[in-house]
Structure formats: structure tokens, C-alpha cells
Structure 1
Amino acid sequence: MGDERESGGAGAFESATEGPTRDGEVSPIRSFYTPAMLARLIGVPVATIRRWRRRGLIVPVRELGRVAYYDFGQVTAARDLGKRIPSGKGSSRIERQLARLSESTGLTPARLPILIEGKRVLLRESDGLRDAAGQRWIDFDGVNGECGAGESGEGRAEARMADSDRGPFVSPTWPFAPRGEPTPPVECLVEGALELEADGDLEGAADAYRAALAAGGPNAELCFQLAETLYRLGDVAAARERYFMAIELDEHYVEARANLGCVLAESGRADLAIAALEGALSLHADYADAHYHLARMFDDCGDFPAARRHWERFLECAPDNPWADEARARILDAPEPGNRDRV
């Protein structure tokens, strides 16, 4: 990864308080937002932020240890996406169309002059409307948004749209199919997992991720995505094992270490949870999310001095994050040194 730079101990990243963005400028990382922060700001699941990133709908300005960082411009873009894309079944189709139109026009999704009708996304151009497949539509009334199909007729236009924008066919049972059946491309299986996830079928998404791993072999990112999906399904034990596997495949996977710490804490293994989070910080000392989780764990354990240190570091790394008020309140509420009781 281009933004990973070793310093000090082997595998450790440089302090990320300042660093180059994708535009080559130097910006303080404390003004950036992690996926968890971005999700909290706009009110969507973290999985949605990851899916939008994979489809190119939002673009991180920096990445360290596979932790993506977004600036305020991307916060605005994500908030706009949240307003445009309805949740639930059909949202994946809209996401694909937005990604295709963005790629064909060179405009970010937030700047696309579009009209969304049901599950169809239409781009408004000077000479009318067109869909992601290139089909022209007649804009009968640009004010109220009514539109009709172009010369080929509405029925044929609908059929063409459906054919061109159909999601990839995914059979999660593929690994157990008879020998001789063609192997689906891994990317097709992953896209299918994203589609199932967007439409709320988490069990189907987990099966598709497993199929992708069976087709392509061990992959740290796919193990991480499967772990995230299993966690959302409530299978904490299975999620824990997949996070472990992601770290085995990539020991520098900072976000996997942090998330492993969280599921270990839920499993009642505070000692291992703290070790996992401290391991994440040994690679990326300014990772605010890890400081947040460690601070809460030390608070719960009654180690208030350690908790205070991490609350303070959390605020140093991300002073404007969505949990900043909680951190400040925890610091004010902490007992004086030598007094183990809350005030």
C-alpha cells in the first residue's frame, strides 16, 4: 500500500497527524474521518460506507493500514448519497447506476444532475435524459420530473435498462456444485455479495463471500468483509475467527485488529481485546477509533488513569469526531488520581 511507511519498529507506520492526501497536499489527519465516524455522521451502517467506497461513489483522501480516511468534502458527498439512495431492496441497483454514470461523465455522484424514478437513475443533459445504459428518454416536463422513453418505445427501453443493469448472477452454492461446472469470477461473486448486502440479505451476502474465498483462495480483505457481515448477523464467534484470519493473512491490517478487539471484548475476553487494540496502535499510533475503544474498556475495568490517557489521545487525533462530547464528558467525570471512585 502506497501510504504505508515503516518507521521505528518493523511494520509501524509513521505518525499520521500530518500526511499527503491523494491530491499531493499536506493535511492534518485529525481533520479526516474514519469509516465509523463517517457512518455515524450521516446515519448509515459502516458497511454502507465500505460498499460506496468499493463502488467508487466516495473516495478516501488517505489510507493507513487499510484504514480509509475521508475529508469534509467526502462527508458532504456521502451525506448526499444517503439522501439520494433509499435503503432496502433495490438500493444496490441505484448505486450501480450512479457509479456507471459517474464513470462515464467524469463527475462525482454528488455533482451528477440526476432524476431518480423508482429504481431507475436518469441523467439530465442539455438535450434530454439518458440512463446508465445510454438509452435516451424524453423529458416531457423537467419541472415535475415526468419523463418517457425515447424513440425505441417505453417497453423496449425498460427491457434494455433491466438487461443492462441486472446485477451479477451469484450462486452461493457454487463451491458444492458438481465438478466440471464453470468457476464464477471472484469479482462477480464479490459484487453479488455487495448487492445482497445492500438489499438486506446478509445471510446470502455471507454465503457469497464464502464462495468468493473458495474460488479465489485466502484473501485478507474478503475475510474482513465476511467477518463484518457475520457480526451484523449476530454470529460473534464466527466473526472473531474471520478477523483472526484476516490478520494472519496481513499482520498490518489495522482495522481488522481493532475490530477483533471489539468482538473479543463482547466475548468477555478483555485481556485479549486490550492486546488486540494495543496491537493496532503499535502499527498506527494515531488511529482514533482504537483509542476510543481502549478508553471505554479501561473505564469499564476501573483503570481510570489509562482510560483518561486514551480519551485525551482520542481527542488529539480526532477533535471534531461524533464522539468528542462523550470523550470530554468522560474526562471531566474521571476521579482524581488516587481515588478509584467516580465523582
Structure 2
Amino acid sequence: MVVAGQIFGTVGAISSFPRRLLAKEVERQGGHLRRGVTRQTACVVFGRGLLAKATEADIQARVEREAGESRRLLSENGLLRLLGLATATETSALTRQSLIDQSSLPPRLFHLLSLFDAFEHDSEPYSFRDLILARKYAGLVASGAGWSAIVRSVHRSGQIASLTALSLHHKGNDAIYARRAEGLSELDGQLLLDLDAPDELALEELFAEAEAAEEAGDYDEAAAIYRRYLAIDRTDSVAAFNRANCLRAAGRETEAVHDYVRALKLDPAFAEAWFNLAGLVGTRGHVNAARRHLTKAIALDGEYADAVFNLAKLEFDAGDLGEARRWWIRYLELDRDSEWARTAERGVHFVNLHLRSKTVG
């Protein structure tokens, strides 16, 4: 996979490499690294910091949701290897299915363990040491250990390869222990390459806090937190976009326009920001501006069905039935089954009848 032209979104703090250096390297190779996920995100990087912020069930649901959107999912090490900042530790040829078959790990748990770098390799081909680890993890799971407890513990141990020589045990809590000559001891140590600067960790905390307030419907509070975040990092288009959404939901539309524009100045290719700005200015009676913004969103993302539908409706309301028909037909190429599709079909039928009556008259 090439990096150029791709947008990488991060979910959770990255602990294995300084984020600012990662962002710089992604930009150097022609891509973009952003916090959070938007329509144009091609790859989602799951940071290990997510393990301290979310439950196993929440993480699993997020992984399934992003995979369902046909985005490529990457671990921290997977991103480093893609960028050429790290290399695989051992040449091997074991497939994912081979490790699953030989270890009896459930496929879903194997995927999550790989995604959070519990193996030497984050994807095929896996090594023989990965097979040994998979068998050890299967034993831990059978004893009642959760996959997230395994991940957190192995990353405290130092080099993951060293675990292949240890006897690992689960004692009924969230910790994994190694049996040594002196008895059982917890896997201790610092996170691998824990180089994040305090201000970067603070940013991750602020962004997560803002997202939580937004999800809870506390839009004024979320907007205030995003504002504090943007005072530290003035370059984050996603944070500006999210703040605009919160301001709009809180009824502060003038401020929302300002932050949508801010997001677009930071990232002119942000299709969702063009779409949301179009919706906001359209409700305020600025039809021509809304048309321009929707057209821009569609130019950036030709399969943006919501933008296509809204442009069709805008043209219909403005009296340009030919354009409305054209965009409704395009919408039906993208969506044939939803209630919106039924509305588009009725719109095309209405315009056809209207044009036919004018021809007959």
C-alpha cells in the first residue's frame, strides 16, 4: 500500500512513537494523519492508548464498525512498518489461518491481538515465534483472561519476543504473570518506545474528553473542550469540524459557520465539512452558497450519496427541475433500497410527468 494520497485516522493515543514525528513522516510521503475518522479516511490506526479509555466491548464494536466501512485497519507497528520506520523482526511464511488453526485462538480474538501488536508481526506473514505466542495466549484466554488484559501486560514486558521463553499465567484479574524461579511475578516495565511528549498526551486526553461530551449530547461543553484543544493545536481540521457540529447542535449557528470554514481552510478536501456547511447555510437561505458547497463535496467524493440527494432537493426547491432530476437519477445509482431512494424515485416521476405535460401543452 502506498501512503501518498491516503488519509490516516487515529483512534486512541499512539504510544510507540511520537505522534508529531509520525504526522510529519506521513505528510512527507504524501499522506495525511488525522485524529478521528471521517468519510475520506482510508486507514484507521488503533492506538494502544485506547485500551485505557474504552472497554473491550466498545473497542470490538469500533473495530467491527470501521472494518464494515471497508477501511484498512492498522496497528501502531503496522503504521510504522508501512512508513518504513520499523521492519519485521523475522522473515517467515506462516499465514493468519495457520496460526489460528494451530493455536485454537478464536479468529476475532486473534485479529484484536494482532491489531494491538501482541505479536511480532501485525499481519501476514507471521513468524514461528508468533505461533508460540498465539498458543500461550490461547491458554490464557482459556483460563479466563481477556484479550485486552493480555495486550496491556505484554506491552509492559519489553520485547514481545522474550515472552516466548516464559510460562504465562492468569490469576483472575487484569494482570498476566510469568512463572520464574522465584515464583509468579507481574510482567513489568515501560511501554515500548514511550516517547510521546506530555503536551501530546494532554491533547489526546482533551480530544477524547470532547468526543465523550459530544456523544453524551452536552454540546456546549464539548465545544468548549474542542476550543481548548484547538488553542493548543491550531492545525487539526477534524477538531474544528467536530466543534462546528457541536455549535450547530447547540443552536450557535454563526459560530458553527466560522469553525466549518476553519476546518476547510485547514483541509480543503474535507468533503463532510463542505456538506455540513452547505446544510447550515442552506437553512439560513443562502441557496447559491449551499449549491456551491454541495457541488464541492460531490467533486471531492463522487459517491457521497447524502450530498447528491441534498443537491437534488435544493435544485427542486429552487425550481430547476431538470437539474433535480439529474441528481436524483445519480442518487439512485448509489442507493436503490432506502426510503430516500423511494423519495428520489417519486421526484424523478414527478419531474417526468411535469415535463411531459409541458410538452403536450
TM-score between both structures, scaled by the size of structure 1: 0.50
Q: Do 1:203 and 1:233's aligned partners in 2 also have CA atoms closer than 8 Å?
A: yes
Within the candidate set 225, 231, 247, 2:242 is matched to: 225
1:254 aligns with 2:271: yes
SS at match of 2:269: coil
Within the candidate set 288, 294, 298, 1:271 is matched to: 288
Q: Do 2:316 and 2:324's aligned partners in 1 also have CA atoms closer than 8 Å?
A: yes
Q: 1:217 to 1:279 in 2, by over 3 A?
A: same
The separation in 2 between residues aligned to 1:306 and 1:254, in whole angstroms, is: 21
Q: Do 2:113 and 2:147's aligned partners in 1 also have CA atoms closer than 8 Å?
A: no
Q: 1:230 to 1:54 in 2, by over 3 A?
A: farther
Q: Do 1:223 and 1:243's aligned partners in 2 also have CA atoms closer than 8 Å?
A: yes
Within the candidate set 83, 88, 105, 2:113 is matched to: 105
Q: Do 1:281 and 1:287's aligned partners in 2 also have CA atoms closer than 8 Å?
A: yes
Instruction: State the Cα RMSD in Å.
Output: 4.1
1:192 aligns with 2:199: no
State percent identity of aligned pairs.
Answer: 27
Within the candidate set 56, 59, 62, 2:66 is matched to: 59
Q: 1:233 to 1:106 in 2, by over 3 A?
A: farther
The separation in 1 between residues aligned to 2:279 and 2:60, in whole angstroms, is: 23
1:319 aligns with 2:336: yes
The separation in 1 between residues aligned to 2:321 and 2:272, in whole angstroms, is: 25
Q: Do 1:223 and 1:246's aligned partners in 2 also have CA atoms closer than 8 Å?
A: yes
Q: 1:294 to 1:202 in 2, by over 3 A?
A: same
1:281 aligns with 2:320: no
User: How far off its partner does 1:104 sit?
Assistant: 5.4
User: How far off its partner does 1:257 sit?
Assistant: 0.9
Deviations 1:156-177 (A, max 9, x none): xxxxxxxxxxxxxxxxxxxxxx
**2:230 aligned partner:** 213
The separation in 1 between residues aligned to 2:67 and 2:148, in whole angstroms, is: 24
SS at match of 1:336: helix
Q: 1:301 to 1:279 in 2, by over 3 A?
A: same
Q: Which has the higher contact order (CA 8 A, sep 6+)?
A: 1
The separation in 2 between residues aligned to 1:262 and 1:270, in whole angstroms, is: 10
User: How far off its partner does 1:132 sit?
Assistant: 4.7
Q: Do 1:258 and 1:276's aligned partners in 2 also have CA atoms closer than 8 Å?
A: yes
The separation in 1 between residues aligned to 2:342 and 2:221, in whole angstroms, is: 38
1:237 aligns with 2:270: no
Q: Do 1:53 and 1:59's aligned partners in 2 also have CA atoms closer than 8 Å?
A: no
Q: What amino acid maps onto 1:336 in structure 2? A: H
User: How far off its partner does 1:133 sit?
Assistant: 4.9
The separation in 1 between residues aligned to 2:232 and 2:265, in whole angstroms, is: 19
SS at match of 2:302: coil
Q: What amino acid maps onto 2:231 in structure 1? A: A
SS at match of 1:59: helix
Deviations 1:186-241 (A, max 9, x none): 11110111122233322221111111111112321111111112222222222222
User: How far off its partner does 1:182 sit?
Assistant: 7.6
Q: Do 1:280 and 1:290's aligned partners in 2 also have CA atoms closer than 8 Å?
A: yes
Q: What amino acid maps onto 1:105 in structure 2? A: L
Q: 1:125 to 1:329 in 2, by over 3 A?
A: farther
Deviations 1:108-153 (A, max 9, x none): 9xxxxxxxxxxxxxxx943236485569xxxxxxxxxxxxxx767x
Q: Do 2:298 and 2:307's aligned partners in 1 also have CA atoms closer than 8 Å?
A: yes
SS at match of 1:325: helix
Number of aligned residue pairs: give it: 208
Q: Do 2:141 and 2:147's aligned partners in 1 also have CA atoms closer than 8 Å?
A: no
Where does 1:72-221 land on structure 2 (aligned, <5 Å)? Answer: 105-106=113-114, 125-128=141-144, 130=146, 132-133=148-149, 185-221=202-238
Deviations 1:21-53 (A, max 9, x none): xxxxxxxxxxxxx69xxxxxxxxxxxxxxx989
The separation in 1 between residues aligned to 2:271 and 2:308, in whole angstroms, is: 13
Q: 1:247 to 1:183 in 2, by over 3 A?
A: closer
Q: What amino acid maps onto 1:58 in structure 2? A: R
